[in-house]
Amino acid sequence: MLTINTALFVGEFTAGWWADSSALQADSLDALGDAGIYALSLAVVGGSLRQRNGAAVLKGLLQGAFGLLVLAEVVRRVVAGAEPLAPLMAAVAAIALLANLACFMLLMRHRGDDLNMRSVWLCSRNDVASNAGVILAAGAVALTGSVWPDAVVGALVALLFLHTSWQVLREAWPGWRHAVVHDLGKVKP
């Protein structure tokens, strides 16, 4: 999954830049974030509760940062008058959708294991939704000749990042704080 998402980032970011698509570049940043999240999740899978919750907090913060970056990029492209290339958007998003569906299915049975795995699964769920949104945006751009479907989907992907960030942080922060306080109570002067 780490390799898949790293490859998706490179491919989607390049295609998004070439196609002048906010939605495709937003999706590529999601793939980059997921690659980092998978690496972090693997690093703490056998770790303490504090480490796993700390990793989930970091994941939530990353999702929030990506959401804000994507919103800024959507505004920049709308102001600049970007004209996305719908066929390239659709083709790249379709490939990404197939790859992300494979990751999603692999993670499905682990989504209830702990908060760390749930946060990874939520990111994978977002990928599938984001890919489908980019495909729909590409179709709407092709039909209307307007930049707005791309901008709307890019903004929706950003809002999905921000919502996931909130979900993960709301669950992870109290657990991490409790683990830190618990660990500090064990320290002998």
Residue 37 is predicted with a pLDDT of 76
* C-beta of residue 97 within 8 angstroms of C-beta of residue 121: no
* C-beta of residue 59 within 8 angstroms of C-beta of residue 119: yes
Amino acid 2 reads L
Inform me whether the pLDDT recorded for 188 exceeds 80. Answer: no
Residue identified by tokens 């990353």 is 62
Residue 132 is predicted with a pLDDT of 92
- Which residues, at least 6 apart from 146, have a Cβ–Cβ distance to it below 8 Å? 140
Nearest of 149, 96, 151 to residue 124 by alpha carbon: 96
Inform me whether the pLDDT recorded for 156 exceeds 50. Answer: yes
Residue 160 is predicted with a pLDDT of 86
Supply the mean pLDDT for the chain. Answer: 84
How confident is the model over 5-44, as pLDDT tens digits? 889 899 988 998 888 888 888 788 878 877 887 788 788 8
* C-beta of residue 29 within 8 angstroms of C-beta of residue 69: yes
In percent, the amount of the chain with pLDDT more than 70 equals: 93
Phi, psi of 137 (to 5 degrees): -60, -40
Q: How confident is the model at residue 185 (pLDDT cuts 50, 70, 90)?
A: low
Q: Distances from the Cα of 24 to the Cαs of 30, 68, 157, 171, 178, in angstroms?
A: 10, 16, 10, 29, 39
3 state SS of 50: helix
Q: How confident is the model at residue 140 (pLDDT cuts 50, 70, 90)?
A: very high
Inform me whether the pLDDT recorded for 184 exceeds 70. Answer: no
Amino acid 172 reads A
How confident is the model over 32-89, as pLDDT tens digits? 877 887 788 788 877 777 787 788 888 889 889 988 988 998 898 889 887 889 999 9
